Amino acid sequence: MSRLDPSADAKPAAWIVAALESFGESVVGLVPAGFAAYVRVFHPAYRRTPTGGLAPVSWRAIANANGREAHPSMQLIALTGNARLVDEGQPGVYDAPPREETLPPEVNRPLVDVLARHTTTPDRCWFAVWHGLGATRADVRQAPTFEVPLRGYYLLVGPIEAAGESVCDPPREQSPNLWWPDDRSWCVATEIDANTTYIACDQPCCRAIVSRADLEAAAVSPDDGIRWNSDPVNPWPGPETAAPLSS
């Protein structure tokens, strides 16, 4: 049974609309400015196991395998040196790339566990779902909408645990793209073209996320770039591999 319900109107998203005045340039183009801390959570890549399953591979492991430096603003294309490897996997390192546009379940669960302890309103959170997703559930499409630069969203409401609920019809699994509690103590963004998730929060929440052994996460600056070519440490392969957001 769904824990997500369409919002009565789009008013709870007004502060997001006011805050997100640009798109794609930096962390605060995805989550609001003015928070004390910002966190980047890396979606894992995957390696096939002998039993046919998938085991997570961290970005740090990918960096080490390629003689590159792991750091908070690293970009996968700079770690591998090749856009094809980003999309198809790197033999001997990982077989499937990090998931884009959705928060993987193995990341979602520990993140929700932390965030639930850093809000006074875990039972009332707001969830935004991008208009352009394929197979979006019919009830989601009945929700009111709001617009920010280059993106439009449906707005739903539910408890924090609904962050792990798919907003699309099976077999597609898709988490909400933008979500925050009613007390606005933090805000989470999984942008549709990105393979990492960004969180605006306070310092205690930031420390709690970064300290989780089951998350690969790092504190970042609100001004950090989020594009493929925004890795300031590892070399970027070249303009022919450019893309709008991080990878």
Q: Where are the domains of the chain?
A: 5-41+100-220, 44-98
Tell me the C-alpha distance between 108 and 162, whole Å: 10
Tell me the C-alpha distance between 180 and 122, whole Å: 9
Give percent of the chain with pLDDT exceeding 70: 96
Task: Give the pLDDT mean for 183-196.
Answer: 97
Tokens representing 223 are 């001004």
Measured CA distances, 194 to 101, 149, 175, 210 (Å): 6, 16, 13, 19
Give residue 246's pLDDT.
47
Work out the pLDDT band at 244, boundaries 50, 70, 90: very low
Give yes or no for residue 78 having a pLDDT over 90.
yes
78-87, 169-178, 217-226: least confidently modelled range:
78-87
Query: Do the beta carbons of residue 34 and residue 16 sit within 8 Å?
Result: no
Crossing angle for the helix pair 105-116 and 203-210, to the nearest 10 degrees: 140
- What confidence tens digit (pLDDT) does each residue in 8-54 have? 999 999 999 999 988 888 999 999 999 999 999 999 999 999 998 99
> Which residue from 243, 244, 201 is spatially nearest to 220, judged by alpha carbons?
201
Give residue 29's pLDDT.
95
Tell me the C-alpha distance between 202 and 185, whole Å: 7
Give yes or no for residue 174 having a pLDDT over 60.
yes
Residue 188, classified by CB atoms within 10 Å of its CB into exposed (0-12), middle (13-18) or buried (19+), is: buried
Tokens representing 97 are 């790339």
Tell me the C-alpha distance between 13 and 96, whole Å: 35
What helix, strand, coil percent values describe the chain, rounded to 5? 25, 25, 50
Tell me the C-alpha distance between 223 and 166, whole Å: 31
